[in-house]
Structure formats: structure tokens, C-alpha cells
Amino acid sequence: MKPWLTNKLLLMSVAWQVFSIVVLELVPEKKDTPPDEELIGFEVAVIVILLFQGLHLLFVVVVSIKLVKQILHKTVSPWFLAQSYLSTILLYAGIYTMIYKIAVIKELSPFSFAVDPAASAGRFKWVLTWVSFLYFSTATMTTVGYGDISASVWYTRLIAASEMLFSILYSAVILSIGLQHFTTKNNLVPIDEASSVSKQNIFFNKPLVELGKMLQDTDDTPTIIFPV
């Protein structure tokens, strides 16, 4: 993947979602068009939205693979991680909105709301609906849902569950990077670098470890110097 693509990941994700929202706004409501025109317009809109959400999903998956590779090689940057995290939230917000739009046309109820966003009057109803699902996606990703919006059928629950799994992955990565930064900042090294006697995952002060290694090289007796 080209570096400029990953560097513009968040910007491209926003552009994808903006295009999807525009298409949603253009899909006619039931009461505004004859049945045949409504069906044709609805099917075209669904195909276009599915195409763009599918491309967005594929793009995020490819980027996630690159993210995993960078994690394994310890070369991941905080900015790339943040872009990947936010792009995942945007992706799921778009998926939830797409499902809800189809559900409204088909008179289904895949989500439960304290206040139904589709009931809002106004020209930009689907923009506000997308914002509601952006809120739901963020709450799901951060696992701090308030219950005012919830998945109410099996397929939306599975999608929400997959986002929760992404949340666990990102939380583990962020924690790992934080610990790595802490150990580097405090000049610490694992004990397996300090002595061949013990392989426990304990951290020692690096200058003292180097002194211990130097003393060990001059004597056959293993030496470990603990930090004071």
C-alpha cells in the first residue's frame, strides 16, 4: 500500500462517509414517490452505498493488516494508530446508518432508540441520523454505551459485537505502546538482557545492567546488580 494512502486514511474515511450521507439524502421517501420509482431509486442507492461501504471496509482491513505488521516490527506510529482507530469508528457508523436506512424503507426495527432519529423533521434528517450512529459507534468502540441506542436484532448485534472485538484489539495495542514508551523513557531493560542466569520478565536499570555485564566478563561468577 502506498504511504500517502495510509497517511490520508482518516481524510479518505471522512470523504467516503460524506458521499454515503449525500446518497442517503437523495434516496426518496415512501410518501414522496410512486412505488415503482421509489423501488428503483432505493435499489440504486443501496447498491451505491453498499459499494462504497464495502470499499471502505476493504480499505480498513488492509490498513489493519499493515497496522499488525507494524506492531510486530515495533514501528507503529501513534498518528497512524489514531487514524486507524477513528476510521474504524467512522466505518461502523456508516454501516449502522446504511442498515437503518434500509430498515426504514422496509419498515423494520434493527435498533432501539430513546428518541428515533428518523422521526426528526428537517432537510438534513439523514445527516442527523448518521451523527446519532456515529455516537453509537463511538460508545460501542469505547465500551461505554449508555443504552439510549442499542442493537435489537441478531445481525445488528453481531456487527456491534465485531466492533467490540476491534475495541479490545486497539486497547491492547495502545496499552502495549504505552508500556513500551514507559520502559524506554525510564531507561529500563528486561532481565533476559541483563543476565543469562534468569529469564524472568523483570526490569532493571540499564546502566547498572551494563556494569554488571562488564563485571561478569572479568569473572566466571555471574553478577547481577539490582537498582537502588
Whether residue 71 contacts residue 180, with contact meaning beta carbons closer than 8 Å, is answered with no
Model pLDDT, residue 199:
46
> For 62-66, 128-132, 151-155, 221-225, which range has the lowest pLDDT when averaged over its residues?
221-225
Model pLDDT, residue 122:
66
Cβ contacts of 175-181, under 8 Å, gap ≥ 24 = 176/71, 177/76, 177/78, 177/81, 180/74
pLDDT for residue 172 is more than 90: no
- Which grid coordinates are listed for 32? 414522496
Model pLDDT, residue 38:
52
Domain map (residue ranges) of the chain: 3-164
pLDDT for residue 89 is more than 90: yes
Phi-psi region of 109 (alpha: psi -120 to 50; beta: other; left: phi over 0): beta
pLDDT digits (tens, 9 = 90+) for 106-152: 778 888 888 777 666 567 788 888 999 999 999 999 888 778 889 98
Average pLDDT of span 57-67: 79
Average pLDDT of span 58-79: 77
- Which grid coordinates are listed for 115? 428518541
pTM for the structure as a whole: 0.70
